[in-house]
Chain A
Amino acid sequence: MRVAVIGAGVIGLSTALCIHEQYHSLVPSLEMEVYADRYTPYTTSDGAAGLWQPYLSDHGNLQETVWNKETFDYLLRHLGSPAAKEMGLFLISGYNLFTQPVPDPSWKNIVLGFRNLTPEELELFPGYSYGWFNTALMLECRSYLPWLTKRLTQRRVKFFQKKVESFQEMFARGVDVVINCTGVRAGELQPDSELQPGRGQIIKVVAPWVKHFIITHDVESGVYNSPYVIPGSGLTVLGGIYQHGNWNEEISTQDHKTIWENCCRLLPALQKAKIVEEWSGLRPARPRVRLERETIHHGHLQAEVIHNYGHGGFGITIHWGCAMAAARLFGSILQEKKQASPPQSRL
C-alpha cells in the first residue's frame, strides 16, 4: 500500500505522522512518501509565529472547533514531556484587545484561564476598551517541522524534493492513496475557486522583554489586519496584515511601515527593538477547511485522494485534529480495500 503525502508544511507532515503511527502496524506493507517543492524553513508554516488561537468566530463550523480543541489538548499533553523543547512547544499568556465589547469566542473553554480584562489592564492599551486574557500555547514550526521530519525519517518515510504536477503523476507511479496537503497552491492540482491566498507580512525583532502575546482586533478591517505582537522563543513577531486574493510573496515597504508604526503605538518599548528578519507568506484561506475523500478514476483503475487543505491563518491551531480526521478517512479507505479484495491465499 503506497501512500504519497503532497506538501511538507505543518499539515502535510503531521498528517503523514498521524497516519503512519496509527496504521503502520496494521498494514505492514504501508510505504509512505512525502513530496514537496518547499521544505522547512521555506514553507508557509515556517513564517507563522505559532500561536494557538482560532479565529474569533467559527462561522458555524463546529467540526473545526472540535479539531481545534483536539489539537490544543494533544499539545497540552506534550507540554510536560522531554520532547516539548525540541518540538518548539511552550505555554504563553496574553491579550486580545477590542474597541468594543464582543461575544466570548468558541474557544474560551479550550484555552486556560480565559477571562475579561480589568480596567487596570486596559490602561496598558489606550484606544482599546475591552479585551480578554488567557493562557494558550506556542508551537514554533521552525522547530516542530524538523521534529516531525525526524519522527517520520525514523519510521523510514521517504522524502522527495519535487513539485507534483498532477494526481495522475502519483497514480502512474503506483501510489494507492494521495494525501493532498498542498495548502495555498492546491488549486494547481485541482481548481478550487473557494481557495484564495490571505497574504500576510511580518517583521521579526529582538524584544526579549515581551512575555505576552497581544492581538488587537478591528471589526472593520477584518481578521489579522490589526496589529499583533507574538513573542517566540527567540525573536518576537510583529504583524497585522491580511490581504485576500493577493498572491505577491514579496515584502511590501508600505506593509512594513503599517506593521511597524501600529505595533510601536501598541507597545512603545518596541521602538528600541532591533529588526532582524522580514517575511511574507500566503495563508491558504477558504470558507471552510477541505477535509474529505475523493475517488479519482484513471483508466480502469481508481485511486483515492484525501484532501486536507485550506486552513487559513489557523493551520497550527487545527492541525492535529485535522490529521486525525484524515487518518480516519484513510482507515475507511483501508476498510473498503479489505472488503473489496478478501485474502486469496486460502485457495
Chain B
Amino acid sequence: MAAPKVAVVGAGVVGLSTAMCIVETYPSCSVTILSDQFSPNTTSDVAAGMLIPHTHPGTPIHVQKQWFKDTFAYLFAISNSAEASEAGIHLVSGWQVFKNTPKEELPFWSDVVLGFRPMSKAELQKFPQHRFGQAFTTLKCDCPPYLLWLEKRLKATGVQMYTRKVADLWDLHSEYNVVVNCAGIGAHQLVGDEKLFPVRGQVLRVHAPWVKNFIRDGDGLTYIYPGIHRVTLGGTRTEGSWSLSPDPGTTKDIFDRCCSLEPSLRGAEDVQVKVGLRPSRQCVRLQRELLSQGGVKLPVVHNYGHGSGGFSMHRGTAKEAARLVGECIAALEGSSSRAKL
C-alpha cells in the first residue's frame, strides 16, 4: 500500500505524540491530525505536565512503569539539549508530603525519577502538618510550549492539521485507511464509551517566580508546580463533573491550601483560573478495533483514557499506539494483496 493515510483524531499531548511516533516509525504514512481544539485550548494545556504518574487500577504495573520510563527517557534527552526551552521541558526538584505515612512507601516510579529518597527531618520541618515525605527530581512539560513544539516538528515532516469536529469515526472511512482515536474526554461522545468519565480539575496559574521547587500533598489534591513562566496551583478531582467553568469558591480554597504548604504564595500575582476534564478510565484504552459497515472496513487504534497520567505516560502509549497502527497497515496490505488474487 503506497503511503497509507492515517488520521489522528485529537491534538492534545496524546494525539500529537502519537502522530509523532507514527511518523517516526512509519515514514511512508501520510498522517493528518483532526481536532476540534488545538493548543492552547486542549485539556493538556490546563495540566501542569508534571511527570509524576498516577496508578491506573486496570493496567499491570510493569506496563505502566515501561510507559513512564519511555516517556521520562524521551523528555530527559530533550531537557538536556538546546531545544529544551522551546519544547518547554525542564527539570524540577521538590517534595511529596504526607499527613499520614502512605501504604506504599516506594511507588513504582521511584527508580525512574531522579534522586528519589525519603525527606530528612530538617526538610519535613518546613511542613509541620505532614509527617512523612519523599524528595526527588522529575521533569515538567510546560504547555502550550510542548504542544506547539510537537506541532512544529510534525508540520516539518509534512503532517497536516485541520480544525474539524469529528462526530463519528466512521465519517473518516472514505478518506483514510487507519484512524487513531486520541480524543481524550471527547471519546465519551465520539465512540460512546460509558467507562470514560471526567475528573474535573481546577487550577490556578500565578506569577510567583521565586518558587523553584514543587510541593505536592500525597493526597493528590494540593500541589504547587513551578513552570517556566507561571506556577500551577491545584487542585480538584471531582469525578463526573462536566463543568468547564471556574468556580470562585474553589479558587479561594485551592489558594488557601497551597498557601498553607508554601506561605510565600500569598505574594503571588496575576491569578489565572483554568479548568480541565481529566479523561479518566480504569485503564487506558489502547487497542485496535475494526469498524465495518456494508463490507467496508476501517481499522481504528484507540489511545485514550489517560486520566491524570497523560503527560507521565504519553510517549510510552504513543509508541504502543504507533505499533498497533503498524499492525493495522500490515493487515490492510495483507488483505489487499489477497484481494489481488
Contacts and interface: CB of A to CB of B under 8 A. Distances in A.
Q: Say whether A and B bind each other.
A: yes
Interface of A: 79-82, 84-86, 88, 90-93, 112-113, 115, 117-118, 120-121, 123-124, 133, 135, 138, 207-212, 231, 233-234, 268-269, 271-273
Contacts of B102: none
A contacts with B: majority SS: mixed
Given A84-B264, A211-B213, 19 more contacts: A79-B264, A80-B126, A82-B267, A86-B267, A88-B210, A90-B264, A91-B126, A91-B213, A92-B212, A93-B94, A113-B123, A124-B80, A133-B137, A135-B93, A209-B142, A211-B93, A268-B82, A269-B83, A269-B85
B153 interface: no
Contacts of B117: 113, 115
Nearest to A126: B80
A135 B215 CA distance: 13
B228 A208 contact: yes
B140 to A, nearest CB: 9
Nearest to A209: B90
Contacts of A207: 85
Contact of B264 (A85, A120, A133, A234): A85
Nearest to B268: A85
B106 interface: no
B125 to A, nearest CB: 9
A268 B212 CA distance: 20
Question: What 9 pairs across the A-B complex have the smallest Cβ distances?
Answer: A269-B84, A85-B267, A90-B210, A209-B90, A233-B210, A93-B93, A268-B82, A80-B263, A211-B212
B252 interface: no
A163 B82 CA distance: 47
Give the one of A80, A117, A120, A234 with max B CB within 10 A: A120
Contact of B81 (A85, A133, A269): A269
B241 interface: no
Nearest to A143: B210
B86 interface: yes
Interface in B57-110: 79-86, 88, 90-94
Nearest to B263: A80
A42 B69 CA distance: 49
A79 B92 CA distance: 20
